[in-house]
Structure 1
Amino acid sequence: MTTPTIGVLALQGDVREHLTALAESDALARPVRRAEELEGLDGLVIPGGESTTMSKLAVVFGMLEPLRAFVRAGKPVYGTCAGMIMVADKLLDGREDQETLGGVDMIVRRNAFGRQNESFEAAVDMAGIPGGPVDGVFIRAPWVESVGASAEVLATYDGHTVAVRQGNVLATSFHPELTGDHRVHAFFVDMVRRAER
């Protein structure tokens, strides 16, 4: 079984925690700050953070189109929180100039669960993850308003979709990297391995 090389977009957000979770899930993990660092990657994680800032920095650093090309090429991508916003085809409550990468036929609402002081943790049953619910950390988290026919809902919380998959793109509203439970990262690493075959 090969060890996949998975990048973590390191423009802004909780990069270190994802690098740790991926390494503990038997992947070679490295930060990605420039377009040329996408070359040779088997997969990519887009972390949580502030989605408008991430979008602006992607434009400033010339990363927006290379990231879109990475997604369009069918490479596995996992977006958490702000990363979920980045892989959405459509966005609600975003800035007018906010760019997304696309990749999942879904409409995502920014900050849907409330502001920073309304952040919370909750048990989330997620399809494909063995061993019972995962601990979801929701920090100014989005939710999915609707999904198209190509997207699969993997988890809901309080009546709202919080995890989706479309092909090789995975997205969660919550931050599994902050819990010490790396099952979601292991699931993504397995997605990357399957895509390599």
Structure 2
Amino acid sequence: MLTAHNLSKAYGLSPILENITFSINAGDRVGLIGPNGSGKSTLMHLLTGQERPDRGSITLNPPNLRIGYLAQGFLPDENQTLGELLHQTVGDPDELEAELGELALALAQNPEQVDVQLAYDAVLQKLARADYGRIQPLLATFQLDHLDPDLPVRSLSGGQKTRLALVLILLDEPQLLLLDEPTNHLDIGMLE
């Protein structure tokens, strides 16, 4: 699924990661443990494409591998309601179908446009996942199903925001899940 080969990253003159090589295969569960400042989050940023390595390479198989990433300090738009955030993540099937139609028209006019083909494929995948029936079971799994959809995200506790972030990530059906300190802000009951 993912192979990192000789990854190195420095900030200024301070090396953070040097010659890191590993692979993650389907079904693997990998834990990364180290003290604060040892480069764990930097490695996550490299794997998700948020940053580029100074040296080395990252290979995804398939190349369009869907990676779900729970970053430390998930910051949703706190002015949105819970329902708006869920709707934004899942997508509106009617809007997605309209967008797909526009992209199909653009492709028919110029089939060689790679960026339009990629956008078409992404919208097609999102449309396939735009199933509102998946939301309620996930909310229940993370003990968020009792919350009012009109509740502003800013009124959620830190633990509820972390659990909501996990729901949003899982709604995108990632093929690889990367979690950076996922137990931050969770209470004992949720950890168990």
TM-score (ref. length: structure 1) = 0.28
Larger Rg: 2
| Structure number having the greater strand percentage | 1
Which structure has more relative contact order (CA 8 Å, sep 6+)? It is 2
- State TM-score, norm by structure 2: 0.28
